[in-house]
């Protein structure tokens, strides 16, 4: 799974009918040590109700379709978790409460 | 499979993964000599790997080919802890 920050949402009124009702998030991949964005963006279906600014990780490929919401959808990226903390070498590089 | 070194952990209480007590580790990609590449992944750890250990990671569909991850939205799974790697009859990595 890949770490990213929710930086916005994507609205597509004209889309594949199966994607109807899906919340689409704009994600920026991030470096978990510096917590800086990598200027690399993806659109991902939101399966956990993540808000803008939150750090998440998402699954890609066929695994993206293994959630209730995305089963059978033509989507290859699903946000499957909101991150509370990232720890490296015993120290937090990110904590949600901050 | 690709190689990585366990750098730390990723904590998530709000997830749709659907695996009770799932342990997510922060893994940094590395080569066969444990030289780090500054690229990180989140991997599900079914083996209880300690920090600093070199692991084998399986990505995409094969990551769901275990009883724990079957049908789950997991695309990166730790499938082994590396003890030793040799190349041209030279040991290049040893636990």
* A·B CB contacts under 8 A: 105
Instruction: Give the nearest partner residue to A86 out of B8, B15, B75, using CB atoms.
Output: B8
Taking CA atoms, A52 is separated from A8, A10, A26, B15, B95, in Å, by 6, 12, 9, 16, 41
Q: Is residue A17 part of a domain?
A: no
This prediction has a pTM of 0.93
Pick the CATH number of B2-94 from 2.40.50.220, 2.30.30.230, 3.30.460.80, 2.130.10.10: 2.40.50.220
Instruction: Give the nearest partner residue to B10 out of A31, A57, A90, using CB atoms.
Output: A57
Residue B22 has pLDDT above 90, yes or no: yes
**Yes or no, beta carbons of B26 and A32 under 8 Å apart:** yes
The number of domains in chain A is 1
Instruction: Give the tokens for residue B58.
Output: 């399986």
Banded model confidence at residue B45, pLDDT cuts 50, 70, 90: very high
Spatial contact of B9 and B25, defined as CB atoms under 8 Å apart: yes
Question: With pLDDT > 90 as the criterion, what percentage of chain B qualifies?
Answer: 99
Strands (DSSP E) found in A15-95: 24-30, 37-46, 55-60, 77-82, 85-88, 91-95
Banded model confidence at residue A97, pLDDT cuts 50, 70, 90: confident
Spatial contact of B93 and B85, defined as CB atoms under 8 Å apart: yes
Question: For position A26, which CATH number holds?
Answer: 2.40.50.220
Q: What is the pLDDT of residue B95?
A: 93
Spatial contact of B14 and A86, defined as CB atoms under 8 Å apart: no
Which range marks the domain in which residue A77 is found? 2-10+22-86
Q: Is residue A91 part of a domain?
A: no
Instruction: Give the nearest partner residue to A83 out of B7, B12, B16, using CB atoms.
Output: B12
Q: What is the pLDDT of residue B31?
A: 97
Please name which of A93, A84, A95 lies closest in space to residue A35, comparing C-alpha atoms. A93
Residues of chain B contacting A84 with CB distance shorter than 8 Å: 11-14
Q: What is the pLDDT of residue B27?
A: 98
Residues of chain A contacting B24 with CB distance shorter than 8 Å: 1, 57, 81
What is the three-class DSSP state of A36? coil
Q: Is residue A58 part of a domain?
A: yes
């Amino acid at each position: 799974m890949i770490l990213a920050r929710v930086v916005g949402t994507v609205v597509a009124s004209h889309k594949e009918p199966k994607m109807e009702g899906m919340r689409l998030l704009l994600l920026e991949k991030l470096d978990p040590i510096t917590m800086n964005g990598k200027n690399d963006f993806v659109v991902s279906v939101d399966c956990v109700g993540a808000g803008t600014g939150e750090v998440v990780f998402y699954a890609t490929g066929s695994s993206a379709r293994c959630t209730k919401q995305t089963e059978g959808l033509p989507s290859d990226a699903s946000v499957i978790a909101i991150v509370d903390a990232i720890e490296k070498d015993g120290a937090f590089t990110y904590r949600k409460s901050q | 499979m690709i190689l990585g070194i366990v750098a730390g952990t990723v904590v998530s209480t709000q997830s749709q993964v659907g695996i009770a007590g799932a342990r997510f580790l922060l893994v940094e990609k590395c080569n066969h000599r444990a030289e780090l590449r500054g690229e990180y992944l989140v991997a599900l750890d079914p083996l209880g790997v300690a920090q600093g250990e070199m692991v084998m990671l399986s990505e995409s569909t094969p990551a769901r080919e275990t009883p724990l991850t079957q049908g789950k939205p997991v695309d990166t799974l730790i499938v082994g802890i590396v003890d030793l790697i040799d190349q041209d009859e030279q040991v290049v990595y040893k636990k």
